[in-house]
Amino acid sequence: MGKASKDKRDIYYRKAKEEGWRARSAFKLLQIDEEFNIFQGVKRVVDLCAAPGSWSQVLSRKLYAPAKMSPDHRDGDLPLIVAIDLQPMAPIDGVIQVQGDITNARTAEVVIKHFDGCKADLVVCDGAPDVTGLHDMDEFVQSQLILAALTIVTHVLRVGGKFIAKIFRGKDTSLLYCQRHLQFVRIIHLLKDLMREIYITFWKRWAVLPGLTI
């Protein structure tokens, strides 16, 4: 890693500590929202592979806290945030934690139950494997995680909903785009500075076509 890259990461690390974020990745979700206004109209949201919880913190502060502080709020109208991970996390205000496996159909059922039978307006996923330094291997493992995330998304995200995810840029990125155009109207990628990570905005989920297996 170059000195400029390391210095930038250190700046965001310190800034995250000062502002109470659990990881500096919180700033990436805030940046995506600033550019695309992804939280507008969102009442139900799922955070996949949520630990340690920085994106869940963003969801809490941007969605739950403003609604909670509104003088007109009613508890039944507050945004619902469900965070899923195999590992437990420290509590976050307004976030329902599900300790489960995103590849297990039962996990999707639990999410829908928390939403009283409805589906999410937004799903986010900042999950990543432990990096080995072997890019081809890291890219493959990350791609398997994204495929698992996209599978649960088909069960918990409403038609017209949005999905935000991180992938490792590589030779199969274009193939992923082509495949996911079967599910989403628009796909936008944001390249993370000085790294080989891309944050992808999958915008407006299509209704599943008859006879199509995803």
In the chain, % helix, strand, coil (3-state, to 5) comes to 40, 25, 35
Terminal CA-CA length for the chain: 38
Measured CA to CA, the distance from residue 91 to residue 65 in angstroms comes to: 14
Measured CA to CA, the distance from residue 117 to residue 136 in angstroms comes to: 40
The SS3 of residue 92 is: coil
Q: Which of 28, 119, 162, 166 is catalytic?
A: 166
> Is 110 within 8 Å of 160 (Cβ atoms)?
no
Measured CA to CA, the distance from residue 126 to residue 128 in angstroms comes to: 7
DSSP state of 130: P
| Cα–Cα separations (whole angstroms), residue 214 to 11, 64, 151, 200 | 41, 32, 8, 19
166 counts as catalytic: yes
The catalytic residues are: 166
